[in-house]
């Protein structure tokens, strides 16, 4: 298996056909999977927005004030309103907004970007990334994964994840198969779409590389049962359930992280600004401190 980035893509504008832009620049094979950064999909679908478009309500004002107090500097309530509008639910409001998007992805600030958006203040995620992937798949014929980068619970830093896909299953189900010793596998479902998205992110990068499309060549799904579920079902998501009952207590987190001096001034709650802070409104994980949150 090999991966390569597609060179020569222009700055994508609203109305552009992402599938056609890719098809003009690469000859795809039958064993290719195309990973497309959500940024160009969002731009093509007109998902840029300016802060002036959002009129903050009481909840947005409260969230911005609260996070601003924790961070020690004012936060823009219009950004908080943008996150609320893009969210079906906020699992946490402080020290950061951990949002469930309307299509089921869970991400800090509903995945809203504030970098590499030349014509607007914000770049929102596609409204339905799998529908977006289906349109690109219809043009290319190859399986398509729409990707983003985000932090995950219990892990430091950002990694590529799939937020939508078409033309391939989200995972391969090993349950019922055997390991090398003949033992039955009972719980293993491999999230191959996420794994391919993470591999592609090694080439797309996080800054100004300008390489939003990566072709994975030679990937073989294998003789496994497919699994279509990209996001964990809500009624089986114990972390989400626990977060709904969680209250932010900065002093307690300081003590857990070995800082019990109580001065409240110099500890970053377990993750400093260099621990996965992309400068685009996202932070590494739900345990990041308010100083990391871009609002």
- Per residue in 133-171, pLDDT (tens digit) is 999 999 999 999 999 998 888 888 989 999 999 999 998
What pLDDT, on the 0 to 100 scale, is given for residue 120? 93
What pLDDT, on the 0 to 100 scale, is given for residue 143? 97
Taking the C-alpha atoms of residue 178 and residue 185, their distance in angstroms, rounded to an integer, is 6
Largest distance between two CA atoms of the chain:
61
Residue at token pair 């298996």: 1
What pLDDT, on the 0 to 100 scale, is given for residue 97? 96
Please write the tens of the pLDDT for every residue from 227-249.
788 898 898 899 999 999 998 88
Mean pLDDT, the chain, integer: 83
Per-residue confidence at 178, pLDDT binned at 50, 70, 90? low
- pLDDT mean over 262-280: 32
Q: In this model, does residue 263 exceed pLDDT 70?
A: no
Angle subtended by helix axes 77-85 and 58-71, to nearest 10: 120
Domain encompassing residue 7: 2-292
Look up residue 195 and give its two tokens.
């794994």
What pLDDT, on the 0 to 100 scale, is given for residue 285? 35
Q: In this model, does residue 282 exceed pLDDT 60?
A: no
The closest of 30, 28, 82, 83 to 54, measured between CA atoms, is 82
Domains in the chain: how many in total?
A: 1
The CATH number given to whatever domain includes residue 201 is 3.30.1330.100
| pLDDT above 70: percentage of residues in the chain | 79
């Amino acid at each position: 298996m090999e991966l390569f980035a597609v060179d020569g893509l222009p700055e994508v504008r609203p109305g552009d056909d992402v599938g056609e832009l890719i098809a003009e620049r690469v000859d795809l094979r039958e064993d290719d999977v195309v990973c497309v950064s959500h940024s160009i999909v969002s731009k093509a679908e007109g998902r840029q927005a300016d802060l002036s478009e959002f009129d903050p309500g009481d909840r947005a004002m409260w969230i911005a004030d609260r996070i601003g107090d924790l961070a020690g500097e004012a936060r823009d309530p219009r950004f908080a309103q943008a996150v609320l509008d893009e969210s079906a639910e906020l699992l946490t409001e402080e020290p950061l907004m951990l949002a469930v998007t309307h299509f089921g992805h869970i991400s800090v600030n509903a995945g809203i970007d504030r970098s590499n958006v030349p014509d607007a203040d914000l770049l929102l995620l596609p409204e339905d990334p799998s529908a977006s992937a289906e349109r690109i798949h219809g043009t290319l014929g190859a399986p398509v994964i729409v990707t983003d980068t985000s932090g995950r619970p219990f892990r430091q830093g950002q990694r590529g994840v799939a937020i939508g896909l078409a033309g391939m299953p989200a995972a391969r189900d090993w349950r019922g198969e055997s390991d090398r010793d003949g033992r039955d596998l009972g719980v293993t479902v491999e999230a191959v779409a996420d794994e391919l998205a993470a591999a592609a992110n090694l080439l797309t990068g996080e800054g100004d590389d300008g390489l939003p499309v990566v072709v994975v060549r030679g990937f073989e799904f294998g003789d496994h049962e497919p699994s279509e579920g990209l996001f964990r079902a809500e009624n089986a998501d114990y972390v989400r359930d626990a977060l709904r009952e969680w209250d932010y207590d900065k002093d307690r987190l300081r003590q857990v992280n070995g800082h019990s001096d109580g001065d409240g001034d110099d500890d970053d709650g377990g993750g400093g600004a260099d621990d996965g802070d992309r400068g685009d409104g996202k932070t590494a994980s739900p345990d990041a401190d308010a100083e990391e949150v871009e609002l």
